[in-house]
Amino acid sequence: MQVDVLNTKGVSTGRSINLPDEIFNITPNDHCIYLSVKQYLAAQRQGTHKTKTRAEVKGSSKKLHKQKGTGGSRKGNIRNPLYKGGGAVNGPLPHLYSFKLNKKVKDIAKMSALSYKARENKIVIVEDINMDAPKTSDYTAILDALRGQDRKTIMVLSERNDNVYLSSRNLCDTKTVVLSDLNTYDITHANKVIFTESTAKLFTEELEVVEG
């Protein structure tokens, strides 16, 4: 897949990069995408929900009345779950929602998501962005030139760039990540995926290492 390299103003530089078909042109596996997105969202849940049992609610532990001779039913203490203010029975307890997913499944999911974006022409390659200082207005101008009508974007860098990150962190419609942190949810959630030139070259280099 041949993709032109654009400058920060959205104009072609005359260069192009061939993105490998082994990553950007596979037959997408929707189930792998589903599992990967499900795992990501499950890991975001805090799981701190909690109800108090009868051992934890406030109230006396004294028996309400004697066991026999009252003509009424047998009763324990006021913390009984049947009474108002009593403890909950089988209520939710804190627990983790995260689950394990094989690395191969997650890799297939990412490649499937990237293949979908490639088919939709939603992948953009821009020359490496160099900013002398963090400035959101300058970064926004670059994004506007690259994303067009697609507001939700993700910028993928080859390595951490503090100036770019600080310039983008206040923007609600874009996200900046390093390639090693890119996940399936980020790809599917974005309308357009923007790779820097050095990031795009890593795909070919890594593929050559694997094949070699």
Residue 150 pLDDT:
76
Domain spanning 2-46+97-211: CATH superfamily: Ribosomal protein L4/L1 (3.40.1370.10)
**Could you report the per-residue pLDDT of 163-200, keeping only the tens digit for each?**
999 999 999 889 999 999 999 999 999 999 999 999 99
Higher pLDDT, 151 or 69: 69
Higher pLDDT, 23 or 1: 23
Rounded CA-CA distance 107/33 in Å is 10
pTM, full prediction: 0.82
Classify the phi-psi angles of 165: left when phi > 0, otherwise alpha if psi is within -120 to 50, otherwise beta: alpha
Rounded CA-CA distance 109/129 in Å is 28
Q: Indicate where the chain has its CATH 3.40.1370.10 domain(s).
A: 2-46+97-211
Buried b (16+ CB within 10 A) or exposed e, 148-174: eebeebbbbbbeebebbbbbbeeeeeb
**Average pLDDT in the chain:** 91
